[in-house]
Amino acid sequence: MKILFYMPNAEAAAWLHDFARALPEADLREWQPGDTAPADFAVVWRPPRDMLAGRSDLRAIFNLGAGVDAILALEREQPGTLPANAQLIRLEDSGMAPQMAEYVTHAVLRYLRRFDEYQTLQREGRWQVLDPHPRETFTVGVLGLGVLGAHVAQAVAAFGMPVRGYSRSARQVEGITTFAGAAQFDAFLDGVKVLVNLLPHTPDTADVLGARTFSRLERGAYLINVARGAHLVEADLLDALASGQLAAATLDVFREEPLPADHPFWQEPRITITPHISALTLREESVAQIAEKMLALERGEAVGGVVDIERGY
């Protein structure tokens, strides 16, 4: 089995080391510009177009993340970049779901218990008790009920807030009130106090976090975006904060990453910023998952996490 690896940072050696341990029979190599020698599988994160274009030998491309928007953008910009016969396979959880649950529950509880406001009061040297938000009306709406969204929704629901989930096709998740499809989008949003975004970035979901969506939420709502920066209309967020329609936002992802030093979000105290860390790709778990799938494909078995290129996730 020949495996081609690409990652645009200095960690490739450690990944190759772990893949060699998991698949001792495999012939592994890090892709270098000009390498067109045959390979069965590619393991990539944000690969350059040249690595994949014209590779009719590849049977599968493993994406080292849950989101495949960057790799699908290569195909959209130049159709035919992705080898027609290769399956595109994304990571499924591989240790990301518990991280997402920690991040989102932390943010939801911070807003429920008004810790963000107490932080401001402390800075001002003020001892003041704020009226608690009633838990029973602190409705949390999770956009996306996939591998990560369903796990996050249930983790939040364990704290007793009403939790809703929204997906493309109808889903049942225990303890969660579910909504599906464009026809139920407004019903999902109406009265939501905390909107959590865990949608994939596709042509259908781009800009979903904009003025219209914000206007349906309960006044003084909170936004938690842990999916992609392209989901958020940045100017609409600033307007919604200025008008009081939104009270605060926690953002882990941005249209431009790293967030430029002169970006207005840095100066907005109601926005909490983290540098795309809500769920990191964990090497040990990811190598184990990918190696298992490669062996399954070698045996002619079907595997999970295959991306529907038309659908975009």
Site residues, ligand NAP (CB under 6 A):
66-67, 96, 144-149, 166-169, 171, 198-202, 204-205, 226-228, 252-253, 276, 278-279, 313
> Cβ-count burial of 235 within 10 angstroms (0-12 exposed, 13-18 middle, 19+ buried)?
exposed
Which CB, 45 or 214, lies closer to ligand GLV?
Answer: 45
Among residues 67 and 144, whose Cβ is nearest to ligand GLV? Answer: 67
Is residue 146 close enough to count as binding ligand GLV by CB under 6 A? Answer: no
**276 is an active site residue:** yes
- Closest CB to ligand NAP among 199 and 240? 199
Residue 144 binds: one of ligand NAP, ligand GLV, none (C-beta under 5 to 8 A by kind): ligand NAP
Contact between residue 189 and residue 179 where contact means Cβ atoms under 8 Å apart? no
67 in contact with ligand GLV (CB under 6 A)? yes
Closest CA to 45 of 63, 67, 19: 63
258-to-134, 229, 261 alpha-carbon distances in Å: 36, 11, 9
Q: Which of 90, 164, 201, 228 is catalytic?
A: 228
**Nearest to ligand GLV of 133, 276 (CB atom):** 276
- 228: annotated active-site residue: yes
Q: What is the DSSP string of 92-118?
A: --TTHHHHHHHHHHHHHHHHHTTHHHH
7 belongs to the binding site for ligand GLV (CB under 6 A): no
Is residue 149 a contact residue for ligand GLV (CB under 6 A)?
Answer: no
**Taking CB under 6 A as the criterion, which residues in 256-295 touch ligand GLV?**
281
**What does the alpha-carbon distance between residue 271 and residue 265 come to, in Å, rounded to a whole number?**
7
Determine the Cα–Cα distance for residues 246 and 234; give it in Å rounded to an integer. 13
Q: How far is the CB of 281 from ligand GLV (least distance, A)?
A: 6
83 lies in the site for ligand GLV, by CB under 6 A: no
Q: Kindly give the residue spans of alpha helices, DSSP state H, lying in the chain.
A: 12-22, 49-52, 69-77, 96-112, 115-123, 147-157, 185-189, 211-216, 234-243, 283-298
Which range in 63-71, 97-105, 230-238, 294-302 contacts ligand GLV by CB under 6 A?
A: 63-71
Looking at the Cβ atoms of 39 and 105, the one nearer to ligand NAP is 105
In whole angstroms, the minimum distance from the beta carbon of 66 to ligand GLV comes to 4
Tell the residue number behind the tokens 């996490």, with chain if given.
Answer: 305
DSSP string of 174-203?
A: TT-EEEESGGGHHHHHTT-SEEEE-----T
| Residues with a known catalytic role | 228, 276
Residues in contact with ligand GLV by the rule CB under 6 A: 65-67, 281
